[in-house]
Chain A
C-alpha cells in the first residue's frame, strides 16, 4: 500500500481557455491533518471536487486510498467523508431524519446515528428541522453526516467559516479527535491560526499552483525573518531593538549585550503563518492585478 492517502500528480483543470488548476502535485500521508490554504479563487475547492469525483479533469492523476479517481471512485465512497463549503442539508426535515436517510444510502446500521449525534453534541437538537438551526449547529450536522460511515479520509472545506468562536472550537476539537483515531483529514481554511494549530503539513495554493508545501513550522522557519527582539539597558534606560541573526554586525552587537550583563529579555522573531501566506501569495496577487490592469 502506498504511504499516501491522497496522491495527486500533474493535475490540471481548465474552464474553456482559463486554467484554474495548473499541474499540481502533492501527497497526503495516512493519518495526518493536511491543510490546503489559498486565497479565494486559488483553485482549492475545484481541486477537492476533482478529488471526490464531483467534476471531471483531463490531465493528471488522482489516487485516493489506493484507488484511481474517477475510474475507481465507487471503491472510495465507503471510505471518504466530505463536508463541503456550503450547507447542503435537507432543510425541511430534522437532523435525525437527514442522518437516517444518509445511513440508509450508505447501508449503515441505525445505531451509528446515535453515536455520531453524540460525537458532535447534537443530542438535544436532533429532532429539530435543519432550517430552524443556527449555522454552527448545521455545520455540526454536516460533520455528523460525513462521519456516519466512519471514513478513513475526511475532506473538510472551510468547516469553521463564519462560525462563532465556540462552534469553531468544537469543530477544531473534533478534527483533532479524528486524527487521534487515525483518520486522515484534508482541511481547507482561511484561518491561518487554525491551520497552524491543527495541521501536520499544509500546502498553499495560489492562482492554480501550489506555491508552498511543508509543515507549518518549516514554512515559518523558511519564510520567516531570522531575528531576535532584544530588551536591554543602556546608560541606565531600558531599550528594545531587533537584531538580525543573519547579519554579522548584529550578531556581534548582540553578543556584546549578552556578555555585558545588560540583557533583560530576548524574543525570537519567528514569522506567523499569516505572514508566510502573504509572502507566498502576495507578490503573485500583485503581479496578477498588474496583469489585469495591463
Chain B
C-alpha cells in the first residue's frame, strides 16, 4: 500500500468537498437536525407535549386563563364558531379543539358541557391522553380531587438515567446519527466515485501507478472521516457523549464502515449519478425508516431484524441513554461488526471480480 497516494486521495477529496455544496449539505443536515430536535424537544414537558389547540370560549374563562398563566398562550387559538374551529382542525392548523362554557361550575353539572373535537386520524389513546390532561386541569379548577387509589402507584424508569422531558429527543438522536452514516455511505461516497467515472478523472487516476485497492482505501478513509466527524460534532455540540463513549466510538466507526462498504458496492453497479441517487436513496430510506418505525406496525417490526441499521440504532440508544449493567449491548455490537465484515468481503469480492474481468 502506498500511503502517500492514499493520503493524497484523502486530501484531494477534502479540498474538493469543501467546495462541493452537495457534500456540505449532507454533512450539515444531520448536525442542524440534531440541534433542532435537541432544543425543541428538551423544553418544558408540558409545553412540548401539548399540541396547538383551537378554543371556542372567552379568554377570561378560568380554565383558559389558567393555561395562559402557565405560558401556553402560543398553543391556544380562539375561534368564534364551531365551523371555523372544525375547518382549522381538518386543515391541520390546530391539532384539537375544545368548546368551553363561560363558567364551569360544580353546582349545575347537567346544564354544562365541555366538547373536545379531534381529527379522524388521531388514535384513541391520543384522544384519551388529551382528555385526561384537560380533565385534570378542570378538576384542579373546580377543586375536585379524584378518589385516591387504595394502593401505592409507583412510576420508575428502568435501565437509564434520562428524564422524561428528553425522551423524545433521545430517541431521535440515534436516528440522526444513523442518518449521517447513511448519507455519507450510501450517497456521498458512491456519488463521488461515479462523478469521477462520469467526468473521466477516474481514467486519469488509473493512468498513474496507483492500485485499485489504494484508490478504494483512500476514498473509504475520506468517507469514514466525513461520517465520523459529522457524528462527533453532533454528539459534542449537543453534549450527548455520556459515560459509554468507548462503545459509542466503536459503534460509530463500525456502522459508518458498514455503510461505506455498501456504498462501494453501489458505486460499482451504478453507472451514473442518477443511478446512485435511485439505488442509494432506496437503501438509505430502508436503513433509516425501518428501525425508526419498527414500533408502528407488526410488518415493520418483523422486517426490522433483517435491516442492519436496527442493530446500530439499538446499540447507539443503549450506549447513549441506558444503564449497560441492565441491558446487553455486546450482542448488538457483535452483529454490527459481523455485518460490517460481510459488507467488506462483498465489496472486496465485487472489485476483485471487476478487475479480473477487465
Contacts and interface: CB of A to CB of B under 8 A. Distances in A.
Interface of A: 52, 54, 56, 74, 77-78, 80, 82, 84, 86, 88-93, 97, 100-102, 104-107, 129, 145
B301 interface: no
Contacts of A91: 199
Given A78-B209, A84-B203, A145-B204, A104 B16 contact: no
Nearest to B21: A92
Contacts of B201: 88-90
A80 B204 CA distance: 12
B45 interface: no
Which 3 pairs of residues, A with B, have the shortest CB-CB distance? Answer: A104-B8, A88-B200, A105-B208
Identify which of A84, A89, A105 gathers the most chain B CB atoms within 10 Å of its CB.
A105
A82 B200 CA distance: 13
A222 B358 CA distance: 42
A102 B200 contact: no
B12 to A, nearest CB: 4
Contacts of A80: 207
Contacts of B11: 101
B19 to A, nearest CB: 4
Contacts of B210: 105
B15 interface: yes
Contacts of A97: 12, 15
B203 A88 contact: yes
Nearest to A105: B208
A247 B5 CA distance: 67
Given A56-B358, A105-B205, A105-B210, A92 B5 contact: no
A86 B200 contact: yes
B87 interface: no
A80 B4 CA distance: 21
Contacts of A77: 207-209
Interface string B147-168: 0000000000000000000000
Contacts of A145: 204
Q: At the interface, is chain A mostly helix, strand, loop or mixed?
A: loop
A104 to B, nearest CB: 3
Identify which of B12, B20, B199, B206 gathers the most chain A CB atoms within 10 Å of its CB.
B12
Contact of A106 (B12, B199, B208): B208
Contacts of A105: 5, 8, 205, 208-210
Contacts, number: 62
B98 interface: no
Contacts of A54: 203, 206-207
Identify which of A84, A89, A101 gathers the most chain B CB atoms within 10 Å of its CB.
A101
Given A54-B203, A104-B5, A105-B208, 12 more contacts: A84-B200, A86-B200, A88-B199, A88-B200, A92-B15, A93-B12, A93-B15, A101-B9, A104-B7, A106-B209, A107-B4, A107-B5
Contacts of A84: 200, 203-204
A15 to B, nearest CB: 16
19 contacts: A54-B207, A74-B209, A77-B208, A77-B209, A84-B203, A88-B204, A89-B201, A92-B15, A92-B16, A93-B19, A97-B12, A101-B8, A101-B9, A102-B208, A105-B208, A107-B5, A107-B209, A129-B19, A145-B204
Contacts of B81: none
A90 B208 contact: no
Given A74-B209, A90-B12, A90-B16, A102 B204 contact: yes
A173 B309 CA distance: 59
Contacts of B206: 54
Contacts of B199: 88, 91
A246 to B, nearest CB: 49
Interface in B28-46: none
Nearest to A97: B15
A255 B201 CA distance: 63
B12 A101 contact: yes
A104 B209 contact: no
B73 interface: no
Given A86-B200, A89-B201, A93-B15, A104 B207 contact: no
B25 to A, nearest CB: 15
A215 B5 CA distance: 42
A104 B13 CA distance: 14
Interface string B218-246: 00000000000000000000000000000
Interface in B188-207: 199-201, 203-207
Contacts of B7: 104
A92 B13 CA distance: 10
A45 to B, nearest CB: 12
Contacts of B200: 84, 86, 88
A80 B208 CA distance: 9
B2 interface: yes
Identify which of B4, B207, B210 gathers the most chain A CB atoms within 10 Å of its CB.
B207
A91 B200 CA distance: 12
A104 B4 CA distance: 6
